[in-house]
């Protein structure tokens, strides 16, 4: 926590510099979730995103929601996300409610999860827009590499539903590991390659992600 405060303070007073194509970023997330009975779960997380070679805070968000596991393979949820994003020398706010449907299944020890998300982006100074996201995650069988944790890979695509053409606006490729560290606390470390449409071109970011999740 102290490290996050120090990083945030240093970033807040530094001059704003736009991230370049190929920028290296660090995203740090803390998550807490708890079960209500057998089917329901509530969760909240906060994330800080450092850009410009991880020297400047450019985005902060908090997300909270509730989810219901309807069956062993189907879950639904509704969340609200509050985003602060640097734009030049100012910070812009975005309110983002989103609805999620998740399919899960296991084959030969591999765990697969397909999450569909529909989100309404209520952006400060801009029109409201709808966006669809789909993320497919594959986790390797448990015990395959117990000394490092459970490896996984994922791909996620973003579709801007209000655009007349070129609706596909972003994709992400993930590779990482997740492992328990202490009781209900799990550590997640991953690399993510993000490509976003910028006019007629594409902007690429390299993201090192680190997160702690406490599931009660």
> Is the Cβ–Cβ distance between 23 and 206 less than 8 Å?
yes
| Cross-strand bridge partners of residue 160 | 131
The pLDDT of residue 3 = 39
The pLDDT of residue 163 = 86
- CA–CA separation, 144 vs 74, rounded Å? 26
The pLDDT of residue 18 = 52
The pLDDT of residue 112 = 98
Give the tokens for residue 170: 């972003």
* pLDDT mean values, one per 10 residues, the chain (216 residues): 38 49 97 97 98 96 98 98 94 98 96 98 95 97 82 97 88 96 96 94 97 97
The pLDDT of residue 17 = 44
Contacts of 140 (CB under 8 A, 6+ apart): 109, 110, 150, 151, 152
**What are the boundaries of each domain within the chain?**
2-16+32-215
> Is the Cβ–Cβ distance between 161 and 167 less than 8 Å?
yes
Contacts of 43 (CB under 8 A, 6+ apart): 31, 32, 33, 34, 63, 64, 65, 66, 67
Q: Which CATH number fits domain 2-16+32-215: 1.10.10.10, 2.40.128.130, 2.40.128.110, 3.40.50.2300?
A: 2.40.128.130
CA 145, distance to chain mean position in Å, is 25
- CA–CA separation, 63 vs 32, rounded Å? 11
- CA–CA separation, 104 vs 96, rounded Å? 25
The pLDDT of residue 11 = 39
The pLDDT of residue 78 = 98
Do β-strands 110-123 and 40-51 pair in parallel, antiparallel, or remain unpaired? unpaired
**Residue 5 CB burial class (10 angstroms; 0-12, 13-18, ≥19):** exposed
């Amino acid at each position: 926590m102290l490290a996050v405060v120090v990083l945030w303070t240093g970033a807040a007073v530094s001059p704003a510099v736009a991230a370049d194509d190929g920028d290296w970023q660090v995203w740090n997330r803390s998550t807490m979730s708890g079960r209500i009975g057998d089917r329901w779960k509530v969760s909240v997380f906060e994330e800080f995103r450092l850009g410009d070679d991880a020297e400047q805070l450019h985005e902060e968000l908090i997300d909270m929601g509730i989810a219901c596991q309807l069956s062993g393979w189907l879950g639904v949820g509704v969340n609200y996300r509050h985003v602060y994003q640097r734009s030049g020398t100012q910070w812009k706010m975005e309110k983002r409610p989103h609805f999620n449907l998740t399919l899960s299944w296991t084959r030969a020890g591999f765990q697969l999860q397909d999450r569909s998300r529909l989100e309404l982006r209520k952006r400060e100074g801009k029109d409201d827009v709808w966006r669809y996201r789909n993320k497919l995650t594959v986790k390797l069988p448990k015990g395959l590499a117990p000394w490092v944790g459970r490896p996984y890979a994922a791909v996620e695509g973003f579709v801007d539903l209000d655009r007349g053409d070129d609706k596909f606006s972003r994709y992400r490729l993930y590779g990482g590991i997740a492992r328990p560290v202490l009781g209900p606390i799990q550590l997640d470390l991953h690399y993510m390659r993000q490509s976003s449409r910028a006019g007629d071109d594409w902007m690429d970011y390299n993201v090192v992600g680190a997160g702690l999740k406490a599931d009660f």
